[in-house]
Structure 1
């Protein structure tokens, strides 16, 4: 992680970034659209590849999709994050029973708050576990 020269500043920035990332990581599994809204910039875009084509949603469209989803067991995990000045990035994953979302975020700091301005997501199918009788 690289940021301001003062260690106190770096600790403060880290906490502010983690607040944003935790809003996503804790909000998405339980479909808490207000917590998700707090993590994203209002003009954010969410992108993924579906059947070989780029698909993207505005934040309101994405929140509508989340609101209509079914709650499933999920293990959220912060893999990494870094920042320089008022821009940053993060790598997270949400692991469900049969698939995992691997997300990469671009972050900006505006008015003292870190926000996700861009999410690129990959869905990875997980192998089905075999159950022995």
Structure 2
């Protein structure tokens, strides 16, 4: 039976997860490195496939790349998220004029805060 306390706990958890996801979704389009850093665990890895090969970056390497990116119009969107206990996942996309990034995150909760532990990204060219 779902009690009021359970409902409050679920809503609180959703808000904590959304805080982390919004740090990414709102920080990435404007190249806000500190907001992005707040979304990720310091030991996070970012992975993608480029020309058929796996490429991966540590969080500092990824943030350096983002800091050098050209500011572009971007539409961020949270597609879905879920969690069980202290682990979760999310599916987001960032749509630019000619391409979009489709990202999948593994999330962990440490010390009451949700963080992105891993990001797997796919770049889709738009016609």
**Fold conserved between structures, TM > 0.5:** yes
Please report how far the alpha carbon of residue 8 of structure 1 lies from its aligned counterpart in structure 2 after TM superposition.
Answer: 0.7
Alpha-carbon distance in structure 1 between the residues aligned to 2:14 and 2:125? 32
The normalised TM-score by structure 2 is 0.96
Alpha-carbon distance in structure 2 between the residues aligned to 1:49 and 1:92? 17
Alpha-carbon distance in structure 2 between the residues aligned to 1:71 and 1:25? 14
Please report how far the alpha carbon of residue 36 of structure 1 lies from its aligned counterpart in structure 2 after TM superposition.
Answer: 0.1
List aligned pairs for 1:41-80, cutoff 5 A: 41-80=41-80
Write out the 4+ residue segments of structure 1 that deviate beyond 6 Å after TM superposition. Answer: none
**What are the superposed Cα offsets for residues 33-75 of structure 1, whole Å, 9 maximum, x if unpaired?**
0000000000000000000000000000000000000100000
Please report how far the alpha carbon of residue 116 of structure 1 lies from its aligned counterpart in structure 2 after TM superposition.
Answer: 0.1
Partner of 1:25: 25
Output the aligned Cα RMSD: 0.7
Structure 1 residues not aligned, in runs of 5+: 128-133
**What are the superposed Cα offsets for residues 88-120 of structure 1, whole Å, 9 maximum, x if unpaired?**
000000000000000000000000000000000
Please report how far the alpha carbon of residue 32 of structure 1 lies from its aligned counterpart in structure 2 after TM superposition.
Answer: 0.3
The normalised TM-score by structure 1 is 0.92
- Residue 119 of structure 1 aligns to a residue whose secondary structure is strand
**Number of paired residues?**
123
